[in-house]
């Protein structure tokens, strides 16, 4: 079904005081996206660009999302009906208007699509999403007349004890014919405990005008969970992570303990990759097939080829080739680009460096601002000295070179193809291909010196 005639209003102007935060509530993140981005993802099932109603913190919202939304500003927070009134000019010309909250990140796109499909196919004036759970939370109650027609919604705070025993709940997702919504908004009055314009009062207005109000039920109340506190934010995050992990596992990814595996929404992982507990994978990371990601690793916005192993390491905006081994305890910083069949070992830090196929940087080494060719061996304790106090400079090491332990390469310097650097050397000049560079102080041995020193200290 085509949805070009549908507009979606996302209410996101609430203060969010219970979050105890200076950040607007809808900008809090869960599983890699802000709350309102999750809501917008669902909205995209029926509309191209949702309308976001914002209030305080508007600058942060506009800066964050740019042209991802149409925007409406709610200067005063006078209720949900007032929020929709603020967006009226944005949906005037649509056939249908969906209204939803910006702090309900668990709603699924297919659920919203079903709501709109039912509204259009039945030609009703308003289609509600409702639920009837065994244990009823503090949601508005659906009130029906003797013939079973929906005649109004009573908010929890305004409900009588008898009304609170009603099981059918309003879960705050609506699809209106736009003409019906505009008519109902004109009739709203703030005659309630909060002196606010309730969107829910539109239902009573439509019923009184003999309009057709219907509902469909949702089976899983979790989709309609709102986030008002940090506790609820954590609950939503756990539910979203469970969905992400389930989807990945159904596509062929293995996880030893999904409940303790933290993968964000935009991550892609290939078949037959094994992910251990305690792993955090963030941003737009892409991991190939047949990889192993051991516990304690954090991978952020990085690309990893097929068959690669990462153990207890941090990768930030890095690119790793196929069948490479990283870690344990490696730190790959932005600008790192490592080839195939490489070895990046324990306590190695790499930053803004290109490393060719087959090169090994095994342990206790810093490689910064460098270009390394293929099949190079970098020994233990090597430092690429890339900063002279004013600017970063580049060191180049060509194919097949051997850099001995405890070498300092003072950039800018070039080590030629097949050259050897003896252990303990500080390199300050270019080394020609196939040459040997030695830069050590001459060893001096004083026989019996230690014994005499011991005698002095004893006396």
| DSSP notation for 292-335 | EE-TT-EEES-EE-TT-EE-S-EEES-EE-TT-EE-SS-EE-TT
Q: Which residues, listed in sequence order, are joined to residue 130 by a DSSP beta bridge?
A: 170, 217
**Which residues are CB-neighbours of 92 under 8 A, at least 6 positions away?**
178, 182
Are 224 and 128 in contact by the 8 Å Cβ rule? The answer is: no
Three-state SS at 140 = coil
CB < 8 Å & 24+ apart, contacts of 281-288: 282/32, 283/32, 288/322
Q: Which runs of E-coded beta strand occur in 17-149? A: 29-30, 33-34, 51-54, 70-73, 96-101, 126-131, 141-144
Please tell me the number of Cα atoms within 13 Å of 190 on its side-chain side.
Answer: 9
Task: Dig out the tokens for 190 from the structure.
Answer: 């703030």
Please tell me the number of Cα atoms within 13 Å of 273 on its side-chain side.
Answer: 27
Q: Which residues, listed in sequence order, are joined to residue 268 by a DSSP beta bridge?
A: 286
Q: Which of 346, 376, 345 minimizes the C-alpha distance to 359?
A: 376
Annotation marks residue 44 as catalytic: no
Catalytic entry in 44, 341, 363, 457: 363
Q: Which of 345, 335, 305 minimizes the C-alpha distance to 323?
A: 305
Please give the positions annotated as active site. Answer: 363
């Amino acid at each position: 079904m085509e949805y070009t005639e549908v507009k979606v209003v996302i209410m996101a102007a609430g203060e969010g005081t219970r979050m105890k935060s200076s950040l607007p509530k809808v900008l809090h993140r869960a599983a890699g996206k802000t709350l309102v981005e999750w809501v917008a993802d669902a909205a995209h099932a029926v509309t191209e660009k949702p309308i976001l109603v914002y209030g305080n913190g508007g600058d942060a919202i506009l800066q964050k999302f740019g042209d991802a939304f149409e925007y409406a500003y709610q200067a005063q927070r006078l209720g949900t009906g007032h929020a929709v009134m603020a967006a009226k000019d944005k949906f005037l010309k649509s056939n249908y208007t969906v209204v939803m909250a910006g702090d309900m990140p668990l709603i699924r796109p297919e659920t919203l699509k079903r709501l709109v499909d039912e509204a259009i196919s039945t030609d009703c004036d308003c289609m509600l999403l409702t639920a009837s759970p065994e244990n009823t939370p503090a949601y508005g109650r659906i009130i029906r007349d003797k013939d079973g027609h929906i005649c109004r919604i009573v908010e929890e705070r305004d409900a009588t004890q008898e009304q609170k025993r009603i099981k059918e709940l309003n879960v705050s997702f609506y699809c209106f014919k736009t003409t019906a919504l505009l008519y109902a908004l004109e009739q709203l009055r703030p005659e309630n405990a909060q002196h606010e314009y309730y969107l829910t009062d539109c239902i009573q207005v439509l019923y009184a005008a003999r309009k057709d109000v219907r509902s469909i039920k949702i089976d899983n109340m979790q989709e309609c969970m709102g986030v008002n506190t940090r506790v609820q934010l954590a609950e939503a995050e756990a539910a979203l992570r469970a969905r992400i992990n389930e989807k990945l596992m159904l596509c062929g990814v293995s996880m030893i303990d999904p409940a303790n595996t933290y993968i964000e929404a935009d991550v892609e992982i290939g078949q037959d990759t094994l992910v251990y507990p305690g792993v955090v994978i963030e941003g737009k990371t892409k991991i190939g097939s047949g990889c192993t990601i051991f516990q304690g690793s954090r991978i952020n916005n990085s690309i990893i080829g097929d068959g690669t192993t990462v153990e207890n390491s941090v990768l930030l905006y890095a690119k790793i080739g196929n069948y490479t081994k990283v870690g344990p305890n490696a730190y790959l910083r932005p600008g790192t680009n490592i080839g195939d069949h490489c070895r990046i070992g324990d306590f190695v830090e790499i930053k803004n460096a290109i490393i060719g196929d087959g090169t090994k940087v095994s342990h206790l080494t810093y490689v910064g601002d460098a270009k390394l060719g293929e099949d190079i061996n970098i020994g233990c304790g090597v430092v690429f000295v890339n900063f002279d106090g004013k600017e970063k400079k580049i060191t180049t090491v060509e194919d097949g070179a051997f850099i001995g332990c405890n070498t300092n390469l003072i950039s800018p310097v070039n080590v030629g193809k097949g050259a050897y650097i003896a252990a303990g050397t500080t390199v300050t000049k270019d080394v020609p291909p196939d040459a040997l560079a030695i830069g050590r102080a001459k060893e001096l041995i004083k026989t019996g010196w230690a014994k005499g020193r011991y005698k002095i200290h004893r006396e």
